[in-house]
Amino acid sequence: EIVMTQSPATLSVSPGERATLSCTASQSVSSNYLAWYQQKPGQAPRLLIYSTSTRATGIPARFSGSGSGTEFTLTISSLQSEDFAVYYCQQYNHWPKLSFGGGTKVEIK
Amino acid sequence: QVQLVESGGGLVKPGGSLRLSCAASGFTFSDYYMSWVRQAPGKGLEWVGYIRSGGSAIYYADSVEGRFTISRDDAKNSLYLQMNSLRAEDSAVYYCVTFRGIMEYWGQGTLVTVSS
């Protein structure tokens, strides 16, 4: 089973600042098979990015993804109030078993 | 628009059973793989399992293998999760999700609480 580890667990950022979230896989993940999700309190998760760097429909350009192998990054270039949430990475390279990271909470500093 | 509506959650005793349903609309359900994902209170996301379009193959997380069964009825545009031998650690919000490797569309979830 691929273990996905996210860091930090909590990230305190001021509005307008840049946020960088990390996701590390225990085994190499093809860059075609890494996704990011956003979850706000009381809501279902929402797909943000897939294939490491492709934004899902309707996702603003301030969200970007990068990485390869075992190290992946989600960057939010200028945090807006609606971006404070929990973010999860997910690998779907090693079918049929899928796995999520433990999440990074982005909170207001 | 895509809509996924889960139902069937509730309070059940340890060792008991529960069947969750997910009603899908707004897309061609039979063409999609479908998945269940759960989230324990205050915790992260955990993949439970998925079923291929047509039901030709079904896969489960190790934590539920042998206890949970995923099925689908394409004529009713519905996905199901039969949960047996429930444990306290199965308490969670269960989400129905369209699945193409990525989890594209999510329902709002149904809460399952396993407690005596």
Out of A44, A50, A100, closest to residue B107 by CB:
A44
Instruction: Compute the average pLDDT of residues B86-105.
Output: 95
**What is the per-residue DSSP string for A34-100?**
EEEEEE-TTS--EEEEETTTEEPTT--TTEEEEEETTEEEEEESS--GGG-SEEEEEE-SSTT--EE
CA dist A83 → A14, A20, A80, A105, B86 (Å): 11, 13, 5, 10, 36
pLDDT digits (tens, 9 = 90+) for B30-59: 999 999 999 999 999 999 999 999 888 999
Interface residues of chain B, partner chain A, Cβ below 8 Å: 35, 37, 44-47, 50, 57, 59, 61-62, 95, 101-104, 106-109
CB contact under 8 A, A37 and B44: no
Contact A97, A108 (CB under 8 A): no
pLDDT digits (tens, 9 = 90+) for A41-87: 999 999 999 999 999 999 999 999 999 999 999 999 999 999 999 99
CB contact under 8 A, A50 and B50: no
Out of B62, B95, B102, closest to residue A44 by CB:
B95
CB contact under 8 A, B45 and A100: yes
